[in-house]
Structure 1
Amino acid sequence: MEDDNNVKELLIPEHCFQKDNIKRRRFRRVRSAPLIEHTPGEVNGSDAVSSRSESLFRNLNLHPSFIQIASYLCIYLSVGVLGFYLVRNHIYGQKTNVIVDALYLCIVTMTTVGYGDLVPLNVAGKILACALVFLGMALVGLVLSKGADYLVEKQEGLLVRALHMRQKLGPSDIMKEIETNKATYKFVLASVILLVLFITGIIFLRFVEKLDIVDAFYCVCCTITTLGYGDRSFSTEGGRIFAIVWILTSTICLAQFFLYLTEMHADKRQKHLVQSVLSRHMTNLDLEAADLDDDGNVDAAEFVVYKLKEMGKITQEDINLVMEEFEELDVDQSGTISACDLALAQTSQ
């Protein structure tokens, strides 16, 4: 026991044990939480490789998400093309170039368009198609969650500048405008991109696939919604080369369009809720509910927590979890966390 006490005295400053030196403070403005930094000795091999990779991506102006998605897509298409190439003699339909048809069939399967213009007939081809459709849906979900959203966000600055051409907005003004109306700008961008893809598909089907304007419009609608009746599709080699890129981008863009539409609606509801909470007058019941420590007064921290709960930003469970960690770190039970508390908490672990 004496040895343990001697060790604590060496590790912990003497004033940490003096209760008179502890001062209570009701509220203090907090800085942003600092990023976790590693000392050179703490960086292991995987961290070093990760940091070098991220540095390489920054130098190439590539986002790590794109590297991951591109890798998965290349593997998926390579396996799919090889598989459909091996069973090419057991695929029914109007064929053009063997490699183009295999790649085209991969994209049609991945996006669940399923025209039916190329259909596997043997057991191996059917099993391959079943595997590729599930893996393809998972890959599309990955693209939606990482790649497509990042691309739209990168273009938000250009959209804000275009909408405010007559106003001289600095970088800080642009960032503030984006954060204020983020969901709206994402929806507008997705709408513009979808419209461009829609018109491009109609023009291509009209002049390359030689469909009339109604059938071209009909085929575009069946494709981007993944309805895929199959009575109209891409039948030429050039058309299928175009479709390989166009089908993937248009179907993903339509999914993003509806996702951003839902997000914009939810964002408007959240803003309306925040406005109603901030405009509502405080009552005695509100005062009692906001008084977390039951001392009859509500300080700034308690007021902020109460308002955030009303806005739906945090829940009581979130508060309880944070308070549990606070109580563990507040070793001397003074109601505040100091450097002494942290030193005592570390030695007790």
Structure 2
Amino acid sequence: MFSFGDQKGMSTVVVITMLMLLSLFTSVGTQLVSKDSEKTSGLLQSERALYAAEGGLRMAQYTLKNSWTSWNNAASFPQTSFAGGSFDATVTDDSDGDWNNNLDSNNKVIVTVQGSMGNATRYIQATVSRYSSAFGNAVYTEQTLNVDGSAHVYGPVTQNGSAIPVLDVAAAIAAARANTSNGFAARPDGNYFQGDFSANPSSLNGVIFIDAHADGSPADVNLSGNVDTTSGSAIFIVMGDVHVSGNVTYDGLIYTTGAVGLDVTLTGNVGIAGGVISSNDVNLSGSVVLEYSQGHMVNSLTTSLFLSGVNPSTQSWAEIFP
């Protein structure tokens, strides 16, 4: 016969069993929460390690801006504490074809950065150029590039780019006035002009500056005929519209800026080795051939006239897993 005492004993067993199960569930739950917490903490540390690596890249660019020639001096890029972690940057020569790892012959280097945070480590690697990325393009425009007919562009192109490099206007005007080539030796202002321009120079050498009108309205420049660059690299600067046609061979940079709605139009049998940097639309047609040339885009003449000077820019970057 089942008695009340038996029920009491069974109740005790049930309570003990439930307490044991509750204790087990609590233990398992605590372990799961702990593991989730560790996982979350690890993910946060990993993300912060990547941010540290990106901070190291920015610091390396700042160091290179102050002294590009320090790129092969490891002491210039020490391991640095950052936001509770650290970054460590290494700068090496890129594959520039000179077969010398201690010589930078193309103004580009490889920056590899290790970012660390707690137990997490992330790595990024970037190609950094010595100058504004605009100088690494056959065409760099804040607007659009339009290519028609048999025209060709050989080299990198950037459309809808950020602001073009800032020209040191005073230095450019002085250089143009001091330039007595291109058939303008008798002019007091040399190769500096103001307002509309339709002259036919004998050549296109040195710095040629076509300024806006005295009232600030843009100049309208029309260059045609048989003309070429006969010495070194040139810089053709226009504060307004540019229209080039005929048989023109030009080595250097064409730099234009002005009001919205202006453009650069190259048509006919025009050959350019160098590049175009413009805040306006760039239109190519006819048999125009525009081929990027680093030597004509990055040299002592161009760097002396742009306020940006040495302004390291990241050409590309990616996370790596060494």
TM-score (norm 2): 0.24
TM-score (norm 1): 0.22
Higher helix share: 1
Asked which structure has the greater CA Rg, the reply is 2
